[in-house]
Amino acid sequence: MSEVGRDQSPFVLRAWLAEHLRGYRAKAKLSQSDAAKRVDWSVSKLQRIETEVVGISVSDTRALLGTYEVTDPSTVERLLFVARAARKRDRFSQHRRFFTPEYNVLLSYEESASEIRSVSSFALPGLLQTPGYARALLAVRHSGSKLDGLVEARTLRQEILFASNSPYFLFLIDEAMLRRQVGGRKVLLEQLKHLQQMAELDTLDLRVIPFEADVHLGLWEQFVIMTIPASELTGEASETIVYREAGDSEHLVRHDPERVDWYEKAFEEVLEQTLSPVDSRRLIERMGRELAEPLPARPESIAR
């Protein structure tokens, strides 16, 4: 069996394994109490594994499969391999205590995606933010060690942009974000220069939604559409997931083809109104030049 690639996040594998172990227990018609007793565990240990609070070792996976009478050699081999892969170090592990459950899942599936498309009208996507911009934005709601941890995690998250097997990114950003001075004039100027550099990446398409654009869903909420490829390791088919953020609430849309299709159509409606990649870069460059110009001197006060 091949090694786990970018399309196999340890966090996602742990969730997949927990889901299947729950299913095998249900098929064996065992309660959590009965199953735990058979493997000489506490019920709380099994509960933490099934709810993905903790991972599970290869030996414990083998013990549960035996208890649930899962004996097919290929199935057992696959599940044990997944258990081993899911134990690999997660690069966000030291920061996950600062994340919401939805954000946890977003980052994990982001690691597994082959394509990521987003619409942003209120703030630049986290994947494109400079540390200064991220800190200024996050400081509105967070402080202290949590603020530091979230900024560090955002920088760490951006490594995916430069990976050899990076997903394809399509960012649609509102023109207002090229003008709003999050963190002040200096921070925004640095951010605009960063956007110019990001727009040169072969795997990244950055487009601006101009002020002339009509109303669209992005004015109500920011959303990300992720394409998760089929997995040879788990046997799962390809999947499309939507992460949506409105105000202080976050939601994931999964296993709901009708709603996912609705977001797909909404994305296309926004895309039709964006500037071309070339015109988008030109606008970003122009905004940067204008911002870099010295501020006009204030007129002297006129004595009354």
Per-residue model confidence as pLDDT tens for the chain (304 residues): 333 334 567 888 888 899 899 999 999 999 999 999 999 999 999 999 998 878 899 999 999 999 999 999 999 999 999 999 888 877 888 888 888 878 888 888 888 899 999 999 989 999 999 999 999 999 999 999 999 999 999 999 999 999 888 999 999 999 999 999 999 999 999 999 999 999 999 999 999 999 999 999 999 999 999 998 877 767 777 889 999 987 667 788 888 999 999 999 999 999 999 999 999 999 999 999 999 888 776 666 554 5
pLDDT of residue 53: 78
Strand, helix or coil at 121? coil
The CA-atom distances, in angstroms, between 290 and each of 178, 180, 188, 287, 294 are 11, 13, 12, 5, 9
Among candidate residues 60, 55, 19, the one with its CA nearest the CA of residue 234:
19
Alpha-carbon span 239 to 265, nearest angstrom:
16
pTM of this structure: 0.81
- DSSP secondary-structure letter at 248? T
* DSSP class of 97: G
pLDDT at site 248: 66
d(CA 40, CA 32): 12
Domains assigned to the chain: 10-86 (1.10.260.40), 96-292 (3.30.870)
Give the residue carrying structure tokens 């402080």. 143
- pLDDT given at position 231: 74
pLDDT of residue 7: 52
- The Cα 124–Cα 202 span in angstroms is 20
Six token digits for residue 112: 């597994």
User: What residues contact residue 144 under an 8 Å CB cut-off, 6+ apart?
Assistant: none
- Taking 3-state DSSP, the helix, strand and coil percentages for the chain, each rounded to the nearest 5, stand at 50, 15, 35
| CA-wise closest residue to 248 among 94, 103, 92 | 103
Token reading at 133: 């911009």
**Cβ-contact 240, 293 below 8 angstroms:** no
> Can you tell me the distance from the alpha carbon of 56 to that of 25, in angstroms, rounded to the nearest whole number?
15
d(CA 115, CA 122): 22
